[in-house]
Amino acid sequence: MTQGDPSPDWTTHQILDWLESRGSDRNVAGMARYGIETSRAVGVSNAELRPFSRRIKRNHERALALWNTGVREARLLACFTAEPKKMTADDARRWAADFDSWEIVDHAADLFVDAGLLGLVGEFAADDREFVRRAGFAMMAWAAVHLKKEPEETFLAWMALIRTHAADNRKFVKKAVNWALRQIGKRSFVLHGPAVTLSEDLAASDNRAQSWVGRNALKELTDPKTLERLRKKGA
């Protein structure tokens, strides 16, 4: 059993011991109800993992080792404690090859954006693997919200990827495509117009996935509250 309080010098083995001591079958069952892959989960909630990650702090080599364990909670901690400046495109590709759960994908996508790996967006979006493709669109969504200084041209260029892959009817892809479209459209008035136009085009499509993505995005992008927030942001 791990002894003492969590600290930055904790090893991968100590962290795994801590996770096992906190695991809960009830939590695992709850995760499964939300579509989270639980075959390698021990049952520690994100509400515990987040503060724990702040106590052990960032350590890139340890994060890579945690990822390699395959344990759901260890992989989340890898996402939370990897050092963005040390994360490479090859690291991201290796992780992407292991993706098997939307939850892991979305947290890894946040890290990839923070690491400045936007060049992978198009590559991941074009990948036929469901969760790798989701990663590309999750990266778009995160970037739209958090990269305040990123040129609007970056997001306009991604509209073509959204249009193309909105036809992908797989659950975890179409939800991510929709998420990216909504976040881009809410970023600024410059992007709002093109996002609404694209949403209208998709909504009118005979393709069920495209129609769903377009209608869902259009509902939020034309909501008076969304428009008011954009007006305030522009002012």
Q: Indicate whether 2 belongs to any domain.
A: yes
Residues 49 and 124 grouped into a single domain: no
pLDDT of res. 3: 59
- pLDDT tens, N- to C-terminus, the chain (235 residues): 445 799 999 999 999 999 999 999 999 999 999 999 999 999 999 999 999 999 999 999 999 999 999 999 999 999 999 999 999 999 999 999 999 999 999 999 999 999 999 999 999 999 999 999 999 999 999 999 999 999 999 999 999 999 999 999 999 999 999 999 999 999 999 999 999 999 999 999 999 999 999 999 999 999 999 999 999 988 7
Looking at the fold, whether 73 and 126 belong to one and the same domain comes out as no
Residue 168 belongs to a domain: yes
**For residue 87, is it within any domain?**
no
If one counts the domains in the chain, the total is: 2
40 lies in which domain range? 1-82
Same domain, 69 and 115: no
Q: Tell me, yes or no, whether 230 and 129 share the same domain.
A: yes
Considering the domain architecture, whether residues 181 and 73 belong to the same structural domain is answered as: no
Q: What is the predicted pLDDT for the residue at 2?
A: 45
pTM of this structure? 0.95
* 89 within a domain of the structure (yes/no): no
Q: Does residue 102 fall inside a structural domain? A: no
Position 97 in a domain = no
Predicted local confidence at residue 101, as pLDDT:
96
pLDDT for 4 equals: 77
Residues 119 and 194 in one domain: yes
126 lies in the same domain as 192: yes
114 in the same domain as 27: no
Same structural domain, 120 and 219: yes
C-alpha to C-alpha distances, 142 to 20, 49, 61, 122, 220, nearest whole angstrom? 31, 20, 24, 15, 17
Q: Give the residue from 42, 67, 82 where a domain finishes.
A: 82
Q: What is the reported pLDDT for 1?
A: 43
Task: State how far the alpha carbon of 95 is from the alpha carbons of 92, 131, 170, 172, in Å.
Answer: 5, 11, 21, 18
At 154 the pLDDT is: 98
In a domain, 207, yes or no: yes
Residue 114, domain CATH: 1.25.40
Domain end position, chosen among 67, 82, 97 = 82
Are residues 118 and 203 located together in one domain of the fold?
Answer: yes
Does residue 123 share a domain with residue 78? no
Tell whether 129 and 219 lie within a shared domain.
Answer: yes
Residue 223 lies in a domain: yes
